[in-house]
Amino acid sequence: MPSEPPETVFKFTAEGVDLEFAGSEAFVERQVTRFRSFLENAVGLVQGTPAAPAGTVQPAAPAATGAVTAAAAPTAEPATFTDFLVGHPPRGGRGAIQDRILLAIYFMNVVRKQREVGADDVLYCFKQASWEKPKNLHNALGVLKRNVGHLQEGSRRGLYQLSPVGLKYMDGRYSG
């Protein structure tokens, strides 16, 4: 039996509006095209500003409330997670897995302005960095949330974002 193509998901959050499309790539592209003017207005594109080519999506602006921001975020955003790691090397030894997870979430929250991050986002970053996949990622995320306090819950189960404590910790690690 042939396997079905993977589901494509598009998520957008701005000004208290959460928009999510899931389905085939063609379906998601049609929906993004249909809502394009709304999306461009929401991210602040003005008349005369060139929009992204068809089939590409501009990064979403952070939500007005609950968005992660950082004073120490670099002004020139790295294009990829591996570019980001050049200035933010992970520590080794004890706690290295948790540190790598925090780096991935910090990158997604602060650099990419993605308000909430799931396990798939973390695994994507690990793959980009050619790191070995954590043996129990969901457990590590739970520890970082419940025991360490560096993560907080997202809008639904399995979604996280840096807590203010986690953001302060990450900013402190790389601010000097």
| Domain boundaries of the chain, sorted by first residue | 1-61, 81-173
**What is the pTM (predicted TM-score) of this model?**
0.57
Q: How far is CA 26 from CA 2, 29, 103, in A?
A: 19, 5, 32
pLDDT digits (tens, 9 = 90+) for 91-142: 888 778 999 999 999 999 998 999 999 999 999 999 999 999 989 999 999 9
Q: How does DSSP classify residue 110?
A: I
As a CATH number, domain 81-173 is: 1.10.10
Strand intervals (E) in 1-71:
8-14, 17-23
How high is the pLDDT of residue 5?
64
**How far is the C-alpha of 30 from the C-alpha of 23, rounded, in Å?**
11
- Residue-wise pLDDT tens digits, 29-83: 777 777 776 666 666 554 444 444 444 444 444 443 344 444 444 446 677 898 8
